[in-house]
A and B are shown apart, each in its own frame.
Chain A
Amino acid sequence: MIKQIQTFLISLIIATFLVVTQTTATNLIWLQSINMPVDMQVVLSAMATDLVDMNSRGAFPVIGLIFVGLLIAFITARIIAIWSSIKKPYLYALAGGAALLAIVALMPLAFYNLDLIAGARTVAGKAYLVVAGMIAGYYFGSHPQQGDSNEIH
């Protein structure tokens, strides 16, 4: 059980890192495009600041949103896995992608079509975040779970 929690937390960290840094990159790429002085120091500083502030200073902690999303998605995937023959890494990848898709799709519905995560304002940005969820899910599904054999699927 403890190992499962560890695996879940690592997948949560993976998804959160990818989501946060994508927002950082979105902002900095635009700033660079209008000739603002974006150098490596600014990039690293902005990334570090966002990793802390998006999980502590905002109206909602991004890691909390992703936590809830992945938890629901992975529990659902586990139930589906009982009678599904889909390999677990792929099943959980789909679940992780669905979790992030739900977050980026449902949030605007709750806030007047506003995308509160800046990196999710474009279709490409939303797609990237879904892929981030899939990567986190793939990681989770690639590790043995309670009741599984030691075989890596």
Chain B
Amino acid sequence: MKFTNLPMLCVSLVLCSGSVFSSDESLAIETEVETEILAEGLNHPWSVTFISADEMLVTELSGDLRRVSNGRLNPRPIMGVPEVLFAGQGGLSEVLVDPNFADNSLIYLSFSAPDTDKPKLNQLNVIQARLEGNVLVDHKTLFQSDPPRRTAAHYGARLAFLADGTLLVTSGDGFNYREQAQALDNHFGKIVRINTDGSIPEDNPFTNRPNALPEIWSYGHRNLQGLVIADDGTVYEHEHGPQGGDELNLVLPGKNYGWPAITYGVDYSGAMISPFTEHPDMEQPLKYWDPSIAPSGMILYRGDMFPHWQGNLFISALVPGDVRRLKMQDKQVVEEETLFTEFGRIRNIVSAPDGSLILVTDGEDGKLIRVSAKK
């Protein structure tokens, strides 16, 4: 009889395993801010961008692009969004407005979609389209990750413009293909840099290297879900690591960020991915988190509403669900504060034109929560 109890014990161990991390540091700022729910009932909201002072676009991973005007969610999704593969971590991901949006109405979307030739496989796509009223028109595919993958995870899918107008795209390692992050003949675990017409800038770092894809800008990444460009051109990127290996990196063109040859984390199975944490040819993170926080989005705060936070990085985190404020000095993290622990898993964070912060909560009933200075 004792023998038959062992499976139940084992199942219990499986269900109870995992770690929890919490912090009470947010108490320090609770008297300074007030929060209001701008929108709710969003289906896995992922990305938010402002197209005017009072109007924002929101992607839902399930495939809809939504508009919030004057604090009100338009019940009708924007038409003309391509079909996406909504599975696992895949779906409609980033929305980014063109730096000249006021003149050209161009936006950029990243999403996962089945491969046209092999529909059991899928790939990360980046398109450009023009927003006319409530419809997307003039679609143009700028990037498709290659090779296509079988898995529905680790897409990266963040977009950001460099000051020269070129577009950075983060492309995750696809989970099962992590070793490919160290090879330059594919898009797994890379940041790629392209022009907004889909062409490849001639000054990319690997344009003259044989067997390297010329669009690659940096490599050795895992699942990059935060990407910001500072005013001085510094590129900060954060990536989901394995257990205990979430990283914040300062990214330079042509550099190797080590994954999975060096890492501070271990696999979800508990297995060692690599016994090495450093190598002369590989870059170290500015910071890593152990235990993991599951970083999901990032901004560099430039607003006026919280002047003492200007120049700080804000990172949304899914586990256990909070925002990390990182004070930066000489491109180094000198202070970390945990904020907004009361909203659960936070999928993204953006800064509104008025300087308030917009938190995007994760899940089927996702919310947009505005954080403003208390009046």
- Neighbouring B residues of A37 by C-beta, 8 Å: 276
The answer to whether B272 and A53 touch across the interface, beta carbons within 8 angstroms, is yes
Interchain CA distance A48-B32 in the complex, whole Å: 51
The answer to whether B261 and A112 touch across the interface, beta carbons within 8 angstroms, is no
The answer to whether A49 and B272 touch across the interface, beta carbons within 8 angstroms, is yes
The answer to whether A58 and B269 touch across the interface, beta carbons within 8 angstroms, is yes
- Kindly state whether residue A76 has any CB partner on chain B within 8 Å: no
Smallest Cβ distance from B62 to chain A, in angstroms? 15
- Tell me the nearest residue of chain A to B279, going by C-beta: A36
Indicate which residue in A61, A67, A114 contacts B176 across the interface (CB closer than 8 Å): A114
The answer to whether A118 and B14 touch across the interface, beta carbons within 8 angstroms, is no
The answer to whether A53 and B266 touch across the interface, beta carbons within 8 angstroms, is yes
- 1/0 per residue, CB under 8 A from B, across A22-37: the answer is 0110010011001011
- Kindly state whether residue B7 has any CB partner on chain A within 8 Å: yes
- Neighbouring B residues of A55 by C-beta, 8 Å: 270
Spell out A's residues near B (CB within 8 Å): 1, 5, 20, 23-24, 27, 30-31, 34, 36-37, 42, 45-46, 49-50, 53-62, 64-65, 67-68, 71, 111-118, 121
Interchain CA distance A58-B14 in the complex, whole Å: 9
- Tell me the nearest residue of chain B to A47, going by C-beta: B272
The answer to whether A121 and B176 touch across the interface, beta carbons within 8 angstroms, is yes
15 A-B pairs whose Cβ atoms sit less than 8 Å apart in the complex: A36-B261, A36-B274, A54-B271, A57-B266, A58-B243, A58-B267, A58-B271, A59-B17, A61-B270, A67-B7, A112-B153, A114-B153, A116-B268, A117-B271, A121-B176
- Kindly state whether residue B323 has any CB partner on chain A within 8 Å: no
Query: With contacts A59-B243, A68-B11 known, what are 12 further pairs, Cβ within 8 A?
Result: A31-B261, A53-B272, A59-B17, A59-B268, A59-B269, A62-B270, A64-B11, A65-B14, A68-B10, A112-B152, A113-B176, A114-B151
- Kindly state whether residue B37 has any CB partner on chain A within 8 Å: no
- Neighbouring A residues of B243 by C-beta, 8 Å: 57-59
Smallest Cβ distance from A25 to chain B, in angstroms? 11
The answer to whether A54 and B151 touch across the interface, beta carbons within 8 angstroms, is no
Interchain CA distance A64-B14 in the complex, whole Å: 8
- Tell me the nearest residue of chain A to B122, going by C-beta: A113
Interchain CA distance A116-B17 in the complex, whole Å: 15
- Tell me the nearest residue of chain A to B281, going by C-beta: A35
- Kindly state whether residue B3 has any CB partner on chain A within 8 Å: yes
Spell out B's residues near A (CB within 8 Å): 3, 6-7, 10-11, 13-14, 17-18, 87-89, 150-153, 175-176, 179, 182, 243, 261, 266-276, 279
Count chain B CB atoms within 10 A of each CB in A5, A55, A56, A60 and give the residue with the most.
A60
Smallest Cβ distance from B283 to chain A, in angstroms? 16
Smallest Cβ distance from A111 to chain B, in angstroms? 8
Interchain CA distance A112-B243 in the complex, whole Å: 18
Indicate which residue in A1, A5, A61, A118 contacts B13 across the interface (CB closer than 8 Å): A61
The answer to whether A118 and B17 touch across the interface, beta carbons within 8 angstroms, is no
The answer to whether A113 and B270 touch across the interface, beta carbons within 8 angstroms, is no
- Tell me the nearest residue of chain A to B153, going by C-beta: A112
- Neighbouring A residues of B88 by C-beta, 8 Å: 111-114
- Tell me the nearest residue of chain B to A121, going by C-beta: B176
- Neighbouring B residues of A27 by C-beta, 8 Å: 271-274
Interchain CA distance A50-B272 in the complex, whole Å: 6
Indicate which residue in B13, B271, B279 contacts A24 across the interface (CB closer than 8 Å): B271
- Neighbouring B residues of A59 by C-beta, 8 Å: 17-18, 243, 268-270
Interchain CA distance A113-B175 in the complex, whole Å: 10
- Neighbouring B residues of A34 by C-beta, 8 Å: 182, 261
Count chain A CB atoms within 10 A of each CB in B150, B176, B275 and give the residue with the most.
B275
Count chain B CB atoms within 10 A of each CB in A5, A34, A57 and give the residue with the most.
A57
Indicate which residue in A42, A56, A112 contacts B270 across the interface (CB closer than 8 Å): A56
